[in-house]
């Protein structure tokens, strides 16, 4: 029987902790009109409702996956956390 380690894939905290000390600054550049429903919902989940609106998110795999879904609508900058 395998023992569970701290970095195990089943450990929820290991996946939700920030990858590094950076913050991802996500800015919406294009409209969600004409996009698929899941892309619209992803923008809302990222807190983006208007063009040129910006939100800062911790650098986690979950956030990077959301950004990947709407990569054609947003711009991303890596910013050092305060």
pLDDT in tens, 29-81: 999 999 999 999 999 999 999 999 999 999 999 999 999 999 999 999 999 87
Joined together, the tokens standing for residue 33 give 């009109």
Separation between Cα atoms, residue 69 and residue 65, nearest integer Å: 6
Ordered by where they begin, the domains of the chain are 20-80 (3.30.1390.20)
Sequence-distant (6+) residues with CB within 8 A of 55 are: 25, 26, 46, 47, 48
- For residue range 9-42, list pLDDT tens digits in order: 555 555 666 667 899 999 999 999 999 999 999 9
């Amino acid at each position: 029987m395998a023992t569970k380690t701290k970095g195990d894939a089943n450990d929820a905290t290991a996946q939700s902790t920030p990858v590094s000390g950076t913050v991802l600054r996500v800015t919406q550049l294009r409209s969600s009109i004409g996009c698929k429903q899941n892309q619209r919902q992803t923008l809302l989940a990222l807190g983006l409702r208007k063009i040129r609106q910006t939100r800062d998110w911790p650098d986690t795999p979950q956030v990077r996956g959301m950004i990947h879904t709407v990569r054609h609508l947003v711009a991303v900058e890596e910013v050092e956390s305060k």
